[in-house]
Amino acid sequence: MKFLKILLLFITLQVSAQQGGMWIPSLLEGMNEQEMTDLGSKLTAKDIYDVNNSSLKDAIGHFNGGCTSEIISPKGLVLTNHHCGFGQIQSHSSLENDYLKDGFWAMNLEEELPNPGLYIEFIVRIEDVTTQVLNGVTEDMTEKEKQSLISKNSNTFEATVKKEAWEDTKIKSFYKGNQYFLFVTERFNDIRLVGAPPTSIGKFGSDTDNWVFPRHTGDFSMFRIYANKDNRPAEYSKDNVPYTPKHFLPISLDGVEEGDFTMIFGFPGTTDEYLPAVAIEQITTEYNPSNIAIREAALKVIDANMKSSDEIRIKYASKQARIANAWKKWIGENLGIEKSNAIQERREFEATFTKALKEQGLEDKYGNILPEFDVLYENFEEVNIKRRNFIEVFLVTNELMNMTFRAYQFEQAVAQNPESFDKAKASMEGTLTGIHKDYDVNVDKGVFENVMPFYSKNIDASIYDQTALTNIVTALELFQGTPEEVIKNLNNDPAYVYAKPMIEEFYNTINPEFQAKNEPITALQTEYMTALMEVLPNARYYPDANSTLRVTYGQVRGYSPRDAVYYSPVSYLDGVIEKYIPGDYEFDVPQKLIELYESKNYGPYADANGKVPVCFLGTNHTTGGNSGSPAIDAYGNLVGLNFDRVWEGTMSDMYYDPEICRNIMVDLRYVLFIVDNYAGAKHLIDEMTLVHPKKKEQSKAKGKKKK
Ligand code: ARG
Ligand code: GLU
């Protein structure tokens, strides 16, 4: 028994040692391919990324620059999260057509709703261009000289890249500027809303359940890509037709069980895996707590108002979700840093590095790096937090301060170039209209009273009764007249008068100081990365996320969030009903879903035990931006839709611990069950290709035995 335990431990350690990392899809051959095979994958590197033939990557689109989406039918049908399409669903919603509350389903192509500004971008190919980009860069250059040569080289090179008329290029830095890749991309701008479940399914559990497991959220929505008659990207036109993709993902109805291979293919946004311990400590003890406090203060007001009025609920839905999401994430991040002992672990890693420097006689070359980090970070802390507080108050939470901030930028633009008045004015009017579309002055005033004390001792809420900016009509009037009149009016507006000195301080003092202190940190971080790869060459390095396409892989696994508690990896529809609180704004369940549950009318979407799986956990290393990413099984089929991570695991942005870091996915069978049995949108199911890879394997195995 004991032996078995040790053996099991050994196996788990072995497996966990091979997970974590967000890998570049064009470089999977070799190590990654082997690791994936060891974890159960039947895919080759070429199945995932191939330049000359269609491959999985052709189905993966960057959704509006912030989320991921994937094509699931030969007619350009696209799947992403409900929270990724939330802004679009909200923008089509009104008190009469409350698609947030009731859901939306286009029953034919004509009913699909266009979304100006929304786009999906695909990767055509990826090339290593490090040599070209770093050509002529030498160690004795200053950071500024280096960066300017790098950007000049990049531009020169991009101009020579062979591409089609509708394609774009971009060059991105990897491993802190130690490597550069070129991306040739293809962007579609006519993206229409096809379907979304009601919020009570798509955002079931709302903030209480956000970032946690057990989870029961059907966080999905569907869109469709339209192209011109030649199947190329085009601006919106009623003559456009559904796009025929190079590849779309078949959907497995066999689901997953603990230990199954999964891979997440998507566009993770930002991670910081190579921070020194001193930085992680600063984030945990100073930076996160101050951000958490400001957002908490804002949410108190917004949440209370949203609960008491439907109009405010619709207006503030997106904004509240955005504020609450990071607020709760940071709390979890701190929990995870502590639970995984991340700071201590990082210190020990640094000790290993220092020891290796000594052994290799490299102290002169790299020995200054870690002590230098200590000095730079200590010096950076105050301005970093001050700047961040400004952003939280002026740009994230308070809308009146946001309007004054934009007005200040307007004034600066006009002062610098009087010719630009008309353009600046038009842009200002756009900003004001945008803010006022979803604005409530009482909510905003309450937010002001709660958040401003975190930034300044001077809190004067009476500006709300005197300013022109809180009403769209008077706000627009403020910008009427000659440039001189407008600037004069603006500088007489009480809110502007109040905010301007703080905004000036931000631009003239805080931000420049922040830049000046951050720049040497960035440069040192580049040197540290170079040093790590030279001094400890056998460690497993993966580049930080940078909103480019990545592959991350692992297995379906539960985890233990606390002593004596274990979460098994799959949740079921039974759990939705268990959490049901009639009329509650987070845990209400649509009547029809209750009826389907009671009648056990599950069709082909139940698992072998006759239950409908809702969400499942995996050891895939994901981050913000991976929302909407497909979870792909060992055979290349879609089995899940990534949408979240577990609370204690969100520190994986700085420190991935395979013991507690888990991504959360919606089971595709729940998605199809909702589309088919709940919404009655069978025509969408008919577009898809549904497969049974496991049943196929089983019958193959049986066939072999018989022989
Ligand atoms: N936490 C997930 C993410 O980071 C989901 C957010 C949307 N859900 C919500 N309740 N705000 O985006
Ligand atoms: N919900 C996140 C997103 O919008 C994904 C969760 C995470 O941060 O891992 O991308």
Looking at residue 592, what is its pLDDT?
97
* CB of 623 closer than 6 angstroms to any ligand 2 atom: yes
What band does 705 get if pLDDT is binned at 50, 70 and 90?
Answer: low
Average pLDDT, the chain: 95
Q: pLDDT tens across 75-86, in order?
A: 999 999 999 999
What band does 111 get if pLDDT is binned at 50, 70 and 90?
Answer: very high
Q: What are the pocket residues of ligand 1 if the criterion is a CB atom closer than 6 Å to any ligand atom?
A: 83, 203, 206-207, 210-211, 321, 324-325, 624, 627, 643-644
Q: Which of 55, 69, 627, 652 does the annotation list as catalytic?
A: 627
Looking at residue 698, what is its pLDDT?
82
Burial 251-289 (b: 16+ CB within 10 A, else e): bbbbbbeeebbbbbbbbbbebebbbbbbbbbbbbeebbe
Looking at residue 272, what is its pLDDT?
97
Looking at residue 695, what is its pLDDT?
84
Q: List the chain domain ranges.
A: 19-119+189-267+549-707, 277-529
* CB of 625 closer than 6 angstroms to any ligand 2 atom: yes
Q: Tokens 């389907």: give the residue.
A: 596
Mutate to test the pocket of ligand 1, among 63, 83, 623, 642 (most ligand atoms within 8 A of CB): 83
Cα 83 to averaged position of ligand 1 atoms, centre (Å): 7
Which residues are paired to 555 by β-bridges? 261
Whether the bond between 658 and the residue before it is cis, its omega within 30 degrees of 0, is no
Structure tokens belonging to residue 279: 């930085």
Structure tokens belonging to residue 74: 């030969």
What band does 14 get if pLDDT is binned at 50, 70 and 90?
Answer: very low
User: Which ligand is in closest contact with the Cα of 643?
Assistant: 2
Asked whether the predicted pLDDT for residue 426 surpasses 80, the reply is: yes
Mutate to test the pocket of ligand 2, among 67, 643, 663 (most ligand atoms within 8 A of CB): 643
Burial class (CB in 10 A: 0-12, 13-18, 19+), 667: buried
Q: Average pLDDT, stretch 488-516?
A: 98
The 3-state secondary structure of 517-549, one letter per residue: HHHHHHHHHHHHHHHHHHHCCCCCCCCCCCCCC
Which residue's alpha carbon is nearest to atom 6 within ligand 1? 325
Residue 627 designated active-site = yes
**Would you say 103 and 197 are in contact if contact means Cβ atoms under 8 Å apart?**
yes
Cα 219 to averaged position of ligand 2 atoms, centre (Å): 11
CATH of 19-119+189-267+549-707 among 2.40.440.10, 2.40.10.120, 3.40.190.10, 2.120.10.80:
2.40.10.120
Atom of ligand 1 nearest to the CA of 211: 1
Report residue 271 CA to chain centroid gap: 11
**Would you say 621 and 582 are in contact if contact means Cβ atoms under 8 Å apart?**
no
Looking at residue 670, what is its pLDDT?
98
User: Which ligand is in closest contact with the Cα of 624?
Assistant: 2
Cα 129 to averaged position of ligand 2 atoms, centre (Å): 30
For residues 402 and 398, what is the distance between their CA atoms, to the nearest angstrom? 6
User: Which ligand is in closest contact with the Cα of 326?
Assistant: 1
Q: pLDDT tens across 605-633, in order?
A: 999 999 999 999 999 999 999 999 999 99
Which residues are paired to 644 by β-bridges? 664
Phi-psi map region of 547: left, alpha, beta (phi>0 left; psi -120 to 50 alpha): left
Largest CA distance in the chain: 92
Q: Which of 209, 219, 440, 657 does the annotation list as catalytic?
A: 219
What band does 707 get if pLDDT is binned at 50, 70 and 90?
Answer: very low
**Would you say 35 and 555 are in contact if contact means Cβ atoms under 8 Å apart?**
no
Which ranges of 262-341 does DSSP label H, i.e. alpha helix?
277-282, 288-308, 310-339
User: Which ligand is in closest contact with the Cα of 210?
Assistant: 1
Residue 547 designated active-site = no
Asked whether the predicted pLDDT for residue 542 surpasses 80, the reply is: yes
Cα 647 to averaged position of ligand 1 atoms, centre (Å): 11
C-alpha distances in Å from residue 327, one per residue of 82, 283, 302: 20, 14, 14
Atom of ligand 1 nearest to the CA of 624: 4
Cα 206 to averaged position of ligand 2 atoms, centre (Å): 14
Q: How much of the chain exceeds pLDDT 70, in percent?
A: 97
Residue 303 designated active-site = no
Looking at residue 139, what is its pLDDT?
87
Half-sphere exposure of 31 (CA within 13 A, CB side): 11
Q: Which of 34, 33, 61, 35 is nearest to 47 (CA)?
A: 33
Apex CA 458: angle with CA 457 and CA 460, to 5°?
135
Model confidence, pTM? 0.92
Q: Which of 62, 83, 216, 436 does the annotation list as catalytic?
A: 83
Of residues 698 and 126, more confidently modeled: 126
> Cα-flanking dihedrals φ and ψ of residue 593, to 5°?
-70, -35
Looking at residue 704, what is its pLDDT?
65
DSSP string spanning 373-439?
HHHHHHHHHHHHHHHHHHIIIIIII-HHHHHHHHHHHHHHHHHH-GGGHHHHHHHHHHHHHHHHHT-
Which residue's alpha carbon is nearest to atom 10 within ligand 1? 206
Q: pLDDT tens across 45-76, in order?
A: 999 999 999 999 999 999 999 999 999 999 99
* CB of 622 closer than 6 angstroms to any ligand 2 atom: yes
Looking at residue 701, what is its pLDDT?
78
